[in-house]
């Protein structure tokens, strides 16, 4: 049996959908039992109540589990939460952990969550358990955040200069997580992964223009202006600081500027282009539908823990 943590979040819910699509049973760990209703209609998916921050709840959740897909929200206690799961998995004899990390994970990263992921990776690699680490780039879905502004004034304001980014569709991350959790040959492997295209922001805007049907214009703004806009939109200042660090890293041409699709070739998975993603999300980009799990200026929901 496979356990999926973070199953109600953006990436974790995509992983659950992939298991359902493949007809593969799995167990999902839920801190809030009320959320179990969301999985009632998902064939083969069972739920278990536990909390990564309460180690005493984890042994029962891991009973009978061979493999864990390890995901949790990006927040102040991410290292503690994921390391608790790693320790508990070792104690009960779990065979394999697939950790969804982040591209640029490094103990010296200027981005706080890059440092956090690096700490967790080190703990996992030192543990007495098989491991696989997935390092995806920026999610394509984060472009949903800009929709209210794009539709209001036709601008896409980012502090990214002329850098290129190769964002990835979370549905593709889920496919790789499924393949590495259920197939052999991935022990002690680190897979960095991006979408198939490294695009400038004007190129992103050209795709969005074709989907929205109105001109979308890129406006390069200073990082400090973007941070101010985020705080004014209701984002807690500390998370605005995190995004400021991330924007500055990307503006300077970080690892997400280079295409990395080798894992897709190895697994015979065709990665989704940004144009395909945008077309699939046309109703959201046109403002006739709203995304479920990402905050944005003007959306009703705020999920300050999502900083990809």
> Could you give the angle at which helices 237-251 and 112-126 cross, rounded to 10 degrees?
90
The pLDDT-based confidence of 301 (bands split at 50, 70, 90) is very low
Between 39 and 189, the higher pLDDT residue: 189
Sequence-distant (6+) residues with CB within 8 A of 217 are 154, 155, 156, 205
Q: Which of 91-100, 253-262, 283-292, 296-305 has the least mean pLDDT?
A: 296-305
* Rounded mean pLDDT, 269-288: 96
* Rounded mean pLDDT, 55-71: 97
Instruction: Enumerate the CATH 3.40.50.720 domain ranges in the chain, comma separated.
Output: 2-139+168-193
* Rounded mean pLDDT, 50-74: 96
Give the number of residues written for the chain. 308
Between 226 and 125, the higher pLDDT residue: 125
pLDDT at 38: 82
**pLDDT exceeds 70 at position 86:** yes
Mean of per-residue pLDDT scores for the chain: 91
Question: What does the pLDDT look like over 107-145, one tens digit per residue?
Answer: 999 999 999 999 999 999 999 999 999 999 999 999 998
Angle at 14 between CA 231 and CA 99, to 5 degrees: 85
Instruction: Enumerate the CATH 3.90.25.10 domain ranges in the chain, comma separated.
Output: 140-166+195-254+273-285
Nearest Cα to 138, choosing from 294, 300, 301, 299? 294
Question: What does the pLDDT look like over 165-198, one tens digit per residue?
Answer: 999 999 999 999 999 999 999 999 999 999 999 9
Between 304 and 71, the higher pLDDT residue: 71
Q: 2-139+168-193 has which CATH code?
A: 3.40.50.720
Angle at 186 between CA 107 and CA 25, to 5 degrees: 110
Sequence-distant (6+) residues with CB within 8 A of 233 are 297, 298
Q: Which of 27-41, 83-97, 108-122, 275-289 has the least mean pLDDT?
A: 27-41
Quote the CA–CA distance of 240 and 212 in Å, as a whole number. 28
* Rounded mean pLDDT, 261-290: 95
**pLDDT exceeds 80 at position 103:** yes
Residues forming a β-bridge with 134? 100, 191
Q: In the structure encoding, which two tokens stand for residue 15, read together?
A: 């992983």
The pLDDT-based confidence of 290 (bands split at 50, 70, 90) is confident
The pLDDT-based confidence of 232 (bands split at 50, 70, 90) is confident
CATH topology for 140-166+195-254+273-285? Answer: UDP-galactose 4-epimerase; domain 1 (3.90.25)
Between 120 and 41, the higher pLDDT residue: 120
pLDDT at 297: 38
Quote the CA–CA distance of 30 and 8 in Å, as a whole number. 8
């Amino acid at each position: 049996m496979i356990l999926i943590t973070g199953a109600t979040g953006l990436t974790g819910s995509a992983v659950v959908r992939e298991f359902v699509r493949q007809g593969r049973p799995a167990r999902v760990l839920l801190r809030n039992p009320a959320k179990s209703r969301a999985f009632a209609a998902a064939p083969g998916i069972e739920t278990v109540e536990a909390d990564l921050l309460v180690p005493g709840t984890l042994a029962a959740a891991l009973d009978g589990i061979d493999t864990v897909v390890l995901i949790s929200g990006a927040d102040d206690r991410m290292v503690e939460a994921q390391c608790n799961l790693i320790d508990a998995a070792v104690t009960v004899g779990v065979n394999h952990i697939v950790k969804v990390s982040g591209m640029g994970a490094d103990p010296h990263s200027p981005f706080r969550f890059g440092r956090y992921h690096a700490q967790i990776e080190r703990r996992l690699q030192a543990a007495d358990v098989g491991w696989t680490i997935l390092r995806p780039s920026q999610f394509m879905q984060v472009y949903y955040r800009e929709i209210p502004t794009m539709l209001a004034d036709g601008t896409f304001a980012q502090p990214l200069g002329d850098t290129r980014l190769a964002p990835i569709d979370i549905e593709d991350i889920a496919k790789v997580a499924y393949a590495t959790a259920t197939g052999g040959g991935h022990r002690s492997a680190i897979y960095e992964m991006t979408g198939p295209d490294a695009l400038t922001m004007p190129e992103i805007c050209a795709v969005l223009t074709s989907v929205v049907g109105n001109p979308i214009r890129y406006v390069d703004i200073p990082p400090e202006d973007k941070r101010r806009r985020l705080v004014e939109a209701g984002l807690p200042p500390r998370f605005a600081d995190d995004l400021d660090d991330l924007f500055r890293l990307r503006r300077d041409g970080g690892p997400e500027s280079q295409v990395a699709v080798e894992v897709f070739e190895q697994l015979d998975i065709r990665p989704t282009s940004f144009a395909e993603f945008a077309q699939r999300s046309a109703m959201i980009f046109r403002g006739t539908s709203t995304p479920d799990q990402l905050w944005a200026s003007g959306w009703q929901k705020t999920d300050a823990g999502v900083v990809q």
